Chains A and B, each alone.
Chain A
Amino acid sequence: MLGEFEYLILTAAAGLGDKAYGAAIREEIEAATGRKCSLGALYTTLDRLEGKGLLETWMGEATAKRGGRSKRMVRVTGDGAKAAKGFYDSVMRISRGVAWVADKSGGAR
């Protein structure tokens, strides 16, 4: 089963599609969670996910905005999508009926 951060990376990468790379994934995660995401955690987790065959990475184009440096592009594999869906389904199943899900206003009863 995936970890929470692994799920966030897979989901952010899948959402970004062809534009998924280090800085963009980090921006997505920080925007969604409201927490800082270190590049150390991001890149080591990318390696781990790639090792598990859940995503693929390759060096992409260099842009002037990046000081002429290349991007590490990311693509979620079929296994990655399956693992992320499994994690999402588990979270949804276990969350059924709990206070913060039932209470749509967001506050605990």
Chain B
Amino acid sequence: MTGVGWRCVEAAASLLEEREREAVLGDLAEAEESVWRGMADVVGLAIRRQAAPWRSWRPWAAGFALAWPGSLFLMGLSLSVSHGIRRWMDAAFSSGASSSAQDLPILLLHILLLTAGAWTAGVVLGAVSRRTLWVSIFLCCLPCTYCMAEFPSGVLQSLCLFLFLVPAFWGVRLGLRGVRLRRDFAVILAVGLTLAALPVWRSGASLFWSAAMIWPGWYLAASGRSRSEKHI
């Protein structure tokens, strides 16, 4: 297995897991296959491996019912929070403490909703689509890229769209580690997010967008651990 052709086969084999790469490249070397057949075998296996998780509902739900609509929803919330912070700071430094104190509870509620919503979505994304996380990330980036292209009004303002990414990545890390929330905590989270998302739905947003905020909480509640179960 020498030459440029086999280097390409070995590069393609990096798409496979380490043990499988070892076995497949060994089999090809032992059978003294041609470069073309070797490449077809490796690429064919890699495609089968990548396609396998898509037979389940999980990556579809994670990508198209959570990452894509959820990122749009959370971007809007990020923008609202960043504007709220700016308004509150303007009020605090110009009009005095009384008007800024009036806005503070709503601002804190929005921050709480943004953090809880993004974190919950992240946990579910990590738990539900481990092997297809890159597709979910891509689908999450699509609306982000569109918004950055559509509203190119300074780096700082663009970054305001992505406040949700910090709690979301934190959640994804937990989800990938297979962390299960306590059921009572998860139910409180789910009820809170549902109550927060309902006004958005009633204000004209379709159920599809609101559902992206609602179902992750209930998924965590359904898959949560009871008090007697040990933490995983």
B48 touches A40 (CB 8 A): yes
Contact (Cβ within 8 A) B52 A66: no
Count, chain B residues at interface, CB 8 A: 22
Residue of A nearest to B16 (CB): A43
How far, in whole Å, are A59 and B21 apart by their CA atoms in the complex?
12
* Shortest distance from the beta carbon of B11 to any chain A beta carbon, whole Å: 15
**B24-A39 in contact (CB<8A):** yes
Assembled-state Cα–Cα distance A76/B183 (Å): 42
Note all chain A residues with C-beta closer than 8 A to B25. Answer: 67, 69
In the complex, whether B41 has a CB less than 8 A from a CB of chain A is yes
A58 to B25, CA, bound (A): 16
A residues contacting the other copy or chain, number (CB 8 A): 21
Which of A4-12, A20-28, A82-90, A92-100 sits within the interface? Answer: A20-28
A40–B22 contact, CB under 8 A? Answer: no
Closest residue of chain A to B6 (Cβ to Cβ) is: A67
Contact indicator B27/A22 (Cβ below 8 Å): yes
Query: How many interface contacts (CB-CB < 8 Å) are there between A and B?
Result: 69
Given contacts A39-B42, A67-B1, contact A44 B48 (CB under 8 A): yes
* Chain B residues within an 8 Å CB radius of A40: 41, 44-45, 47-48
Q: How far is the CA of A79 from the CA of B111 in the complex (A)?
A: 56
Encoded as 1 (CB less than 8 Å from any B CB) or 0, chain A from 63 to 77 comes to: 101110111100000
B217 CB to closest chain A CB (Å) equals: 32
A39–B20 Cα gap in the complex (Å)?
11
Most chain A CB within a 10 A radius of its CB, from B19, B30, B40, B48 = B30
Bound form: Cα–Cα A26–B27 in Å:
9
Contact A70 B40 (CB under 8 A): no
Question: In the bound complex, do residue B30 and residue A39 qualify as a contact, i.e. CB atoms below 8 Å apart?
Answer: no
Q: Does B26 contact A (CB under 8 A)?
A: yes
- B-side contacts of A70, CB under 8 Å: 19, 22-23, 26
Given the interface contacts A26-B31, A27-B31, A39-B27, does A69 sit within 8 Å of B44 by beta carbon? no
A71 to B52, CA, bound (A): 23
Residues of A whose CB lies within 8 Å of any CB of B are 21-23, 26-27, 38-41, 43-44, 59, 62-63, 65-67, 69-72
For the complex of A and B, 3 pairs with smallest distance between CB atoms: A69-B26, A40-B44, A66-B26
Q: Mind listing 14 A-B residue pairs with CB under 8 Å?
A: A21-B27, A23-B30, A38-B45, A39-B24, A39-B28, A40-B41, A41-B44, A43-B23, A44-B45, A65-B29, A65-B30, A66-B27, A66-B29, A70-B22
